[in-house]
Amino acid sequence: MTEQPSDDPFHDCELNPKAILGTHTFEDVLFTDETETPVNVLTGQTPAHSQATVDEAREFAASIDTDTPQIALPALVETQIETASKPYTAAAFFHFKATGSLELHRAYHAAYESDGFSVAFEANYESGNLTITVERADDP
């Protein structure tokens, strides 16, 4: 006996839609001009690879070839040192590093992929805040 796929976009989610409906702001989760960067202890300077602007980070996130909008998240200082990478990384706007939990990540992803919901987000790189709004598609 084969299982039929569920019509409920939240069938694999720990949270139901009520948990994400409305507007939610996640504070200090985006790359900003204040994102921590490594400093060379011998020179007191930030390495060239870790020097970046918000505009560069925003352009990088926008350049990712995917159907899901991307945001720029801060990279860990350790990662920047170990990989000589920029101080930001791109991720889907509902990534668990931004929303704070895998449960919220899955719920926002389910809503975004569903025709039953309207999902919008605003990435404020000056404050570091990410605001996500979810409404039922049939709501005015």
Nearest alpha-carbon partner for 133 in 94, 96, 91, 90: 94
How many domains are there within the chain?
1
- Does 1 reside within a domain? no
- Does 7 reside within a domain? no
Number of H helices, E strands in the chain: 4, 5
CB 91 within 8 A of CB 97: yes
Q: How far apart are CA 128 and CA 134, in angstroms?
A: 20
Range of the domain at 47: 18-136
Give the pair of three-digit tokens for residue 132: 């996500």
- Does 84 reside within a domain? yes
- For the stretch 41-75, pLDDT in tens is 888 888 888 889 999 999 999 999 999 999 999 99
| pTM value surpassing 0.85 | yes
- For the stretch 87-127, pLDDT in tens is 999 999 999 999 999 999 999 999 999 999 999 999 999 99
User: Three-class SS string for 81-96?
Assistant: HHHCCCCEEEEECCCH
- Does 33 reside within a domain? yes
- Does 2 reside within a domain? no
- Does 12 reside within a domain? no
